[in-house]
């Protein structure tokens, strides 16, 4: 099973601050995803990233959000100006190289916006 790590495991920030969440897949994959899970709610799709560009994004993924692969390995999610409602678990996922429908998730980053 492909391994995915995420840093930090927990991020506490003040409202209005910028945060960058990082995802590091151990091997090369084509598709990357970010999902979020607000406490007590279901996991929601944010954005998919393929071939170094966004392939799809949800309505949640507004102008405050951006993604990139700055060095070809790390995959980052940036929230430009955090709001209280951005507090959630953020999960990175990658697709299975042989089957693009199977996704493998990182352990998540818990973002707390104060």
Partner 1 sequence: AQRVTQPEKLLSVFKGAPVELKCNYSYSGSPELFWYVQYSRQRLQLLLRHISRESIKGFTADLNKGETSFHLKKPFAQEEDSAMYYCAPPNDYKLSFGAGTTVTVRA
Q: Give the whole-angstrom CA distance, residue 30 versus residue 52.
A: 9
Classify each residue of 5-37 as buried b or exposed e, where b means 16 or more C-beta atoms within 10 Å of its C-beta. Answer: ebeeeebebeeeeebbbbbebeeebebbbbbbe
Nearer to partner 1, 93 or 111 (CB): 93
Q: Which of 108, 109, 111, 113 binds partner 1 (CB under 8 A)?
A: 108
Number of amino acids touching partner 1 (CB under 8 A)? 23
Q: Which of 15, 38, 43, 54 binds partner 1 (CB under 8 A)?
A: 43
Q: Give the whole-angstrom CA distance, residue 29 versus residue 15.
A: 33
Residue 43 CB, nearest distance to partner 1 (Å)? 4
Cβ-proximal residues to 25 (8 Å cutoff; 6+ apart), any chain: 2, 3, 4, 32, 73, 75, 92, 94
When asked if residue 49 is in the footprint of partner 1 (CB under 8 A), the reply is no
> 66-105: which residues touch partner 1 (CB under 8 A)?
91, 93, 95, 100-105
Residue 2 CB, nearest distance to partner 1 (Å)? 11
Q: Which residues bind partner 1 (CB under 8 A)?
A: 31, 33, 35, 42-45, 48, 50, 55-56, 91, 93, 95, 100-108
């Amino acid at each position: 099973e492909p391994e995915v790590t995420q840093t930090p495991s927990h991020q506490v920030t003040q409202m209005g601050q910028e945060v960058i969440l990082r995802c590091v897949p151990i091997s090369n994959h084509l598709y990357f995803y970010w999902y979020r899970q607000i406490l007590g709610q279901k996991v929601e799709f944010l954005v998919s990233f393929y071939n170094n560009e966004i392939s799809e994004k949800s309505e949640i993924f507004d102008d405050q959000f951006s993604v990139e692969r700055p060095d070809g390995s790390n995959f980052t999610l940036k929230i430009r100006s955090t709001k209280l409602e951005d507090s959630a678990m953020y999960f990175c996922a990658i697709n299975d190289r042989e089957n693009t429908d199977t996704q493998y998730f990182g352990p998540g980053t818990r973002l707390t916006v104060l």
